[in-house]
Amino acid sequence: MARLENKVALITGASAGIGRATAKLFAKEGAKLIIGARREGELAALASEIQSDGGQVALVAGDVRSEDYAKALVKTALDRFGKLDVAFNNAGIIGEGGPSTSVSEAGWNEALAVNLTGAFLGAKHQIGAMLKSGSGSVIFTSTFVGYSFAFPQGAAYAASKSGLIGLTQALAAEFGPQGIRVNAVLPGAVDTPMYRDKNDTKDAQSFVTNLHALKRVGTPEELARSVLYLASDDSSFVTGTAMLVDGGISITRT
């Protein structure tokens, strides 16, 4: 039996990278999907791929900073499929970098709004729907940055992403008695468009690669398999965790 058979799953940031790979894997494992991102064209292309493989999917384009968008995603799940079992709050940005003394207030606020507040607004309405079923799995994409170590000139990103770990723990403690599990996945470097935009030279990519114990960066598909574990009943006794899937970047000093 497929690991997400008869499950309804919502994924934000689904148009590329980890979100896209996770959507395809979830569909393969039997989930009915609601996929979200800002870029409607990319979402439509992904939906077409999933449908051509026999999957069921609905798309809702929008901005996770909007609470109305969070409501719309959940409403689509309930209207189209009757319930919500899994939510992967994956949408995120790197945000404004540079010396922290020079980061603008607008840049700081944008990183927190997308990475942290957007995830909270999503979970707020996702959990509300899951409580009606008496179970559910909420997953956030955090990062090792601001958890096991951080890079200079990335304060907004580190703060917003590490905030997700506190949010994970608070929600897990609050809603565990009602059968809702909440976890965060913490990737190392992953070969996504965002990673390539940030590390756009061979020297930069070589530097990042060497930080990992495995001496390579991850693939979106590898992260998707870890998210699948947290989404599925395989992790039925796992909640409140910050799960490193980082290729050993957190423990490497060579």
CB 160 within 8 A of CB 109: no
DSSP 19: H
What residues does 89 pair with on adjacent strands? 140
Pairing of strands 242-245, 180-187: parallel
CA distance 49 to 29: 15
What pLDDT shows up at residue 1?
Answer: 80
Q: Count structural domains, the chain.
A: 1
Q: Which two tokens stand for residue 184?
A: 């965060």
CA distance 236 to 217: 29
The question of whether 157 is a catalytic residue gets the answer: yes
Asked if residue 3 belongs to a domain, the reply is no
What pLDDT shows up at residue 137?
Answer: 98
CB 93 within 8 A of CB 111: yes
Q: Which two tokens stand for residue 59?
A: 């798309």
Expressed as residue numbers, the domain containing 85 is: 8-188+219-245
CB 94 within 8 A of CB 88: no
Matching residue, tokens 């000139």? 153
Asked if residue 129 belongs to a domain, the reply is yes
Which range is least confidently modeled, 7-16, 22-31, 149-158, 236-245?
A: 149-158
**Count of CB atoms within 10 A of residue 132's CB?**
10
Catalytic residue among 69, 147, 157, 195: 157
Asked if residue 207 belongs to a domain, the reply is no
CB 230 within 8 A of CB 139: yes
Asked if residue 205 belongs to a domain, the reply is no
Asked if residue 203 belongs to a domain, the reply is no
pLDDT band at 50 (very low <50, low <70, confident <90, very high): very high
Asked if residue 197 belongs to a domain, the reply is no
pLDDT band at 40 (very low <50, low <70, confident <90, very high): very high
Asked if residue 213 belongs to a domain, the reply is no
- Residue 57 sits in a domain whose CATH number is 3.40.50.720
| Phi, psi angle pair for 217, to nearest 5° | -95, 165
Flag whether pLDDT at 224 surpasses 90: yes
pLDDT band at 128 (very low <50, low <70, confident <90, very high): very high
What pLDDT shows up at residue 27?
Answer: 98
CA distance 158 to 143: 8
Asked if residue 214 belongs to a domain, the reply is no
Tell me the whole-structure pTM to 2 decimals. 0.96
pLDDT band at 251 (very low <50, low <70, confident <90, very high): very high
Flag whether pLDDT at 209 surpasses 80: yes
Mean model confidence pLDDT for the chain: 96
